[in-house]
Chains A and B, each alone.
Chain A
Amino acid sequence: MARIVGAITTSHIPAIGNAIAKGLQGEAYWKPFFGAFDAVHAWLDKVRPDAAVVVYNDHGLQFFLDKLPTFAIGAADAYHNADEGWGLPTLPPYRGDAAFSWHLIESLVADEFDLTTCQEMLVDHAFTVPLKLLWPGPACPVLTVPVAVNTVQHPLPTPARCIKLGRALGRAIASYPADLKVVVLGTGGLSHQLDGTRAGFINRGFDEMCMAAMVDQPDALERYSIRQLVEAAGTQGVELLNWLVARAALGGRVEKVHSNYHIPISNTASGLMVLENN
Chain B
Amino acid sequence: MEHEIPGTPIFDGARARKGYALNKMCYSFNSAQNRAEFLRDEQAYCTKFGLDEAQRAAVQQRNVLELIAAGGNVYYLAKLAGIFGLGVQDIGAQQTGMPVEAFRAMLAAKGK
Contact = CB atoms under 8 A, between A and B. Distances in A.
Interface string A224-252: 00010011001110000000000000000
Question: Taking chain B's interface residues, is the majority helix, strand, or loop, or is none over half, making it mixed?
Answer: helix
Contacts of A227: 2, 5, 10
B88 A85 contact: no
B107 A84 contact: no
B9 interface: yes
| Interface residue tally on B, bucketed by range | 35 or more
A238 to B, nearest CB: 10
B7 A86 contact: no
Contact of B68 (A65, A82, A196, A262): A196
Contacts of A198: 5-8
A152 B7 CA distance: 17
Interface string A40-77: 00000000000000000001110011100000000000
Interface of A: 15, 59-61, 64-66, 82-87, 152-155, 193-202, 204, 227, 230-231, 234-236, 262-264, 266-267, 269
Interface of B: 2, 5-13, 16, 20, 23-24, 26-27, 29-32, 35, 64-65, 68, 73-79, 81-83, 87-89, 91-92, 95-97, 103, 106-108, 110-111
21 contacts: A60-B30, A60-B79, A83-B31, A85-B35, A152-B11, A153-B73, A154-B12, A195-B68, A195-B77, A196-B95, A197-B97, A198-B6, A198-B7, A200-B103, A200-B107, A235-B10, A235-B74, A236-B74, A264-B107, A267-B88, A267-B92
